[in-house]
């Protein structure tokens, strides 16, 4: 059995939203397995978590760049929010997004590429920027989408300036319709994605492991009602449909009217949504807070 450390309790608390002592008990009951502990908490009604979710903590910026039928998005992290307002850092993020457009989404390839307007590589420029500003910085991830016919729209929520902010979205829209109309549709879908955080484009793209976990949890919740197995099976299937409506983009209710499904909106526009990406600054990265760590350590008895 894994050792139940303060860090493990802290991780579970942030992912589940449950109390520290409940998290410690859940980890004890599940041998220190965080994923099983989340399910244990949900079965006991102690957690509302339906999926893994990291605490947003890292600073920096999300940057997007696009050319016809293609767009790129990157996340560049720094230690403080102050750096995100630095003009030199903003320019660096803009240029890294442009580099990603040409070399793809592999971070190492991006770092090895030539930095625009310089003889340095992106990695060397980053080293210079770190020395100049005095904070550690990293290029965390990148995503590139393209279409054969249509548009890849970009959306940045609450942008500091065009193409830079803390939540970014790419949306691939395949169609032979007018480009301006596709860009408008894609931007609207981007706003929807920023708000609803879908995990998959369609039902077939849902992670099988996540679906099985959901089915097991829902089955045990339904079984607690004491109803016959035949009824439980119907209850679970109904809840799975609801699960799809929550995590699958095409099955979600369109936030712009509160009635239509995203699938129907795209069909009406004569377009097919073929891909999307959503970056939220710092998602899944913990920010260390001394007081909270001490609180967890005390509760965990370590």
What's the confidence (pLDDT) of residue 46?
Answer: 63
What's the DSSP call for residue 59? E
What's the confidence (pLDDT) of residue 296?
Answer: 46
Distance CA 170, CA 209 (A): 25
Tokens of 178: 């007018």
Percent of the chain with pLDDT over 90: 57
Tokens of 42: 């949900």
For range 92-118, the mean pLDDT: 97
Beta bridge partners of 145: 71
Q: How confident is the model at residue 10 (pLDDT cuts 50, 70, 90)?
A: confident
What's the confidence (pLDDT) of residue 188?
Answer: 97
User: Residue 115: is it exposed, middle or buried by C-beta count within 10 angstroms (0-12/13-18/19+)?
Assistant: buried
Distance CA 170, CA 153 (A): 6
Beta bridge partners of 261: 253
Residue 118 CA: distances (Å) to CA of 72, 87, 112, 114: 21, 18, 13, 7
pLDDT, tens digit (0-9, with 9 covering 90-100), for 127-148:
899 888 888 889 999 999 999 9
* List of domains in the chain: 1-55+286-302 (1.10.8.10), 59-200+262-280 (3.30.479.20)
Question: What's the pTM value of the predicted model, to 2 decimals?
Answer: 0.73
User: Residue 189: is it exposed, middle or buried by C-beta count within 10 angstroms (0-12/13-18/19+)?
Assistant: buried
């Amino acid at each position: 059995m894994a050792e139940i450390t303060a860090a493990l309790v802290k991780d579970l608390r942030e992912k589940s939203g449950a109390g520290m002592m409940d998290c410690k008990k859940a980890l004890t009951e599940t041998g220190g397995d965080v994923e099983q502990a989340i399910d244990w908490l949900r079965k006991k009604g102690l957690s509302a978590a339906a999926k893994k979710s990291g605490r947003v903590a890292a600073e920096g910026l999300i940057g997007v760049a696009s050319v016809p039928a293609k767009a790129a998005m990157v996340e560049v992290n720094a230690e403080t929010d102050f750096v995100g307002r630095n003009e030199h850092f903003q320019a660096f993020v803009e240029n890294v997004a442009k580099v990603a457009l040409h070399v793809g989404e592999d971070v190492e390839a991006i770092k090895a590429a030539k930095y625009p307007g310089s003889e340095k590589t992106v990695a060397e420029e980053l080293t210079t920027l770190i020395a100049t500003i005095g904070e550690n910085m990293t290029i965390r991830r990148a995503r590139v989408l393209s279409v054969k016919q249509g548009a890849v729209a970009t959306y940045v929520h609450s942008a500091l300036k065009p193409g830079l902010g803390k939540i970014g979205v790419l949306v691939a829209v395949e169609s032979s319709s007018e480009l301006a109309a596709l860009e408008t549709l894609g931007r609207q879908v981007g706003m929807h994605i920023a708000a609803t955080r879908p995990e998959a484009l369609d039902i077939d793209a849902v992670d099988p492991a996540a679906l099985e976990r959901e089915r097991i949890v829902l089955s045990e919740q339904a079984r607690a009602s004491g109803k016959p197995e035949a009824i439980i099976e119907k209850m679970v299937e109904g809840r799975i449909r609801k699960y799809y409506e929550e995590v699958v983009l095409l099955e979600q209710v369109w936030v712009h009217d509160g009635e239509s499904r995203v699938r129907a909106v795209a069909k009406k526009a004569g377009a097919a949504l073929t891909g999307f990406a959503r970056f939220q600054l710092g998602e899944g990265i913990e920010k260390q807070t001394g007081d909270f760590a001490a609180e967890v350590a005390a509760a965990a008895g370590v």
